[in-house]
A and B are shown apart, each in its own frame.
Chain A
Amino acid sequence: MTLARELGKRFLSLAVVLFLVTLFTALLISMVPGDPVDTLVPLAESEEADALKAQVREDLNLDEPLHVRYASWLRDFVFGDERGEHFGDYFRVSGRDPVSNRLAEALPVSLQLMVYSQVLALVVAIPLGVLTAYRAGSLFDKVTNTGAFALMAVPTFVLGLALAYYIGVWLNWVPPSGYVPFGEDPVEHVRRMVLPSLTLAAGQIAVYMRLLRSDMVATLQEDFIQMARSKGISDQRVLWRHALRPSSLTLLTVAGMNVGTLIGGAVVVEVIFSIPGMGTAISQAIFERQYVALQSFVAVLAILYVVVNFAVDILYAVVDPRIRHARARN
């Protein structure tokens, strides 16, 4: 029963987040100056063009007030339109173009980028956090911390451009831009994802490392660490088996909440490195005033955000048995 209730609660929060995020997007896009139809139908002034524009306006409900347009998008998103499409259509002069096609291409690419960068960030940050805590106050600790601080201060787009230029163009180690699907050529896929993942991971590495370090420093003061040491087991074992897990709850929380930052970062990184993911799709939709598509993309990302945070909550219980038991009790 607890599971059903938990899921119910999650679903409710998902619905609220989704509603607010998409409503806000709708508001923002309605405030962009200029008539979207001029962008959607890029034809010179003519009677024919005017007729077409009027038709488009009618089709897209552009004369209706915002809330009506929003409600109609929401209805389609939740229940599907007459063809069962949930994400609506791009408007094209040439005809209808379902957003779901683009979503199917872009979402996996973005997911790859985010997963790679998170894995990279954690793989680098966890050992650094553990070792700087172990050697707290040493030269290694100070240098690493200063480095992390500097890294946090560099904006993503600056770092991305710098990496693309120096490593991609100047050193010519890996291609500076473009995307190759894994299934097509795994090696090339990895080569092209290295720089974008690194760019996206850099800021997170710094944040994760410093978080873990400070929790770990506190854990290392605990009695149970003294106790573990007094068994005579190696310092490595004390650090990794006894200290890491109780120190990682904050890291886990922040990594979950970071999905929002990550999505924002991915938009920038994808544009810099010409990766055809959600970021590219969204910025395109904004430029083209494809508000139906935009709204659907934003909604999908909001779902992603809520789902990841749900997963993090489940992970809590895996990491800390006290939480597991407290949950089982009520």
Chain B
Amino acid sequence: MTAPTESETLLEVTDLRTRFRTPAGTVRAVDGVSLTLDRGRTLGIVGESGSGKSVLSRSIMGLLPKRNVTCEGSIVYDGREISSLPPAERRKLWGADMAMVFQDPMTALNPVIRIGRQITEGLRFHLGLDRRTANENALALLRSVGIPEPERRMKQYPHELSGGMRQRIMIAVALACGPKLLFADEPTTALDVTVQAQILNLLARQQRERNMAMVLVTHDLGVVAGRADDIAVMYAGQIVEKAPTATLFANVRMPYTEALLASIPKLDEPRRTRLKAIPGRPPSLIDPPPGCRFAPRCPYAQERCHREAPPLRESEPGHVYRCWYPVGVEPRRDGAADRTDTPTPTGAR
């Protein structure tokens, strides 16, 4: 099935724009996003709630509702342009080529269908397996995602399992047909801290074993720090900074990323320290401000930032950002002196 010269690039998204028509106006949930992802690699997408992370992953998959939604831009998957495929063709990719792990395991499994059937359903549909073979595959899957007593679990309903177990089940469902690309949309946000690491490790192990590419969505830079090859930071529907993980942490350019970094709790801080939230709220996606979208909350914002939207610029290979007065690039214009009393991103506080 694979072409003799299989390219390294699995996914290439160019200028993706997703809009929702609502009574209040058109919501530009994703506004000109471009990204690439190589086979077997992990892309972390980070951003505050409402920045368009989920809409972005759903747009790439094609999982959005049909009514009152427009989605433009190019999505090349495995060398094939899929954004223009008819829905039925697009659907053939779901489960088999790309799959999704959802945020909340409490609500993402069907409450009235047994676990076993929820796993075998995709297997039987895509691979045409008979009931017995599908059941055997499902048992193997459950074992591989670390579920004890898989035979018994198969016959249970979701409400009989804990949150962590359910998330493992969801991962099993997503992995069932051997996808090449996995979207994990905040796979651990709804879980206990102790379970979070287990689930993330499970995902990483499965990814390695299957050479599967992954888009790991989170609002917590700490989650992707050690796990993603590249990180894209989203703000108000746009990618505002993207770089290989090490580069990003070493040379933050975008003040928003800096603020996100500052909000990660440090291990050496007392347990009760409150997360440092970024003051202010993200702009409306219906009528975004004309200049930089982060300007109203940015401690370094200048007059130009409010007037003109900064383009995506490259500072070093693979590191792009969207800012007129990037962090760490001197000399900054007037007002840069304020920086002394704002927290530094990586320094020990």
Decide if A222 touches B173 in the complex (CB within 8 Å): no
A242 within 8 A of B: yes
B110 / chain A contacts, CB cutoff of 8 Å: 224, 227-228, 242, 246
Q: In the complex, how many angstroms separate the beta carbon of A243 from the nearest chain B beta carbon?
A: 9
Interface residues on A, range: 20 to 34
A2 within 8 A of B: no
Contact of A223 among B102, B157, B159, B177 (CB under 8 A): B102
A84 / chain B contacts, CB cutoff of 8 Å: none
A83 within 8 A of B: no
Give the residue name and chain of the A residue nearest to B123 (CB).
Answer: A231
Question: Which of A137, A230, A320, A322 gathers the greatest number of chain B CB atoms within 10 Å?
Answer: A230
Give the residue name and chain of the B residue nearest to A248 (CB).
Answer: B112
A52 within 8 A of B: no
A241 to B124, CA, bound (A): 15
Q: In the complex, how many angstroms separate the beta carbon of B199 from the nearest chain A beta carbon?
A: 16
B209 within 8 A of A: no
B95 within 8 A of A: yes
B160 / chain A contacts, CB cutoff of 8 Å: 325
Give the residue name and chain of the A residue nearest to B174 (CB).
Answer: A230
Contact of A232 among B96, B109, B113 (CB under 8 A): B96
Contact of B111 among A230, A231, A241, A246 (CB under 8 A): A246
Give the residue name and chain of the B residue nearest to A321 (CB).
Answer: B157
Decide if B159 touches A230 in the complex (CB within 8 Å): no
B91 within 8 A of A: yes
Decide if A230 touches B61 in the complex (CB within 8 Å): yes
B154-166: CB near A (< 8 Å → 1, else 0) gives: 0001011000000
Q: Taking A322-B157, A325-B160 as contacts, is the C-beta distance between A232 and B108 under 8 angstroms?
A: no
B94 within 8 A of A: yes
A226 within 8 A of B: yes
A132-157: CB near B (< 8 Å → 1, else 0) gives: 00000100000000000000000000
Q: Taking A233-B121, A325-B160 as contacts, is the C-beta distance between A226 and B108 under 8 angstroms?
A: yes
Interface residues on B, range: 20 to 34
B314-342: CB near A (< 8 Å → 1, else 0) gives: 00000000000000000000000000000
Question: Which of A223, A229, A231 gathers the greatest number of chain B CB atoms within 10 Å?
Answer: A231
B93-129: CB near A (< 8 Å → 1, else 0) gives: 1111001101110011111110000000110011000
Q: In the complex, how many angstroms separate the beta carbon of A317 from the nearest chain B beta carbon?
A: 11
A319 within 8 A of B: yes
Give the residue name and chain of the A residue nearest to B158 (CB).
Answer: A224
A234 / chain B contacts, CB cutoff of 8 Å: 91, 125
B85 within 8 A of A: no
9 nearest CB pairs, A to B: A232-B94, A232-B95, A223-B108, A231-B122, A223-B107, A231-B95, A224-B110, A321-B157, A227-B108
With A232-B125, A246-B112, A320-B112 given, name 12 new contacts (CB 8 A).
A223-B107, A224-B109, A226-B102, A227-B100, A230-B61, A230-B95, A232-B122, A232-B126, A237-B125, A246-B111, A322-B112, A325-B157
Q: List 8 A-B contacts (CB under 8 A).
A: A224-B109, A226-B102, A227-B100, A232-B94, A242-B110, A245-B112, A322-B157, A325-B160
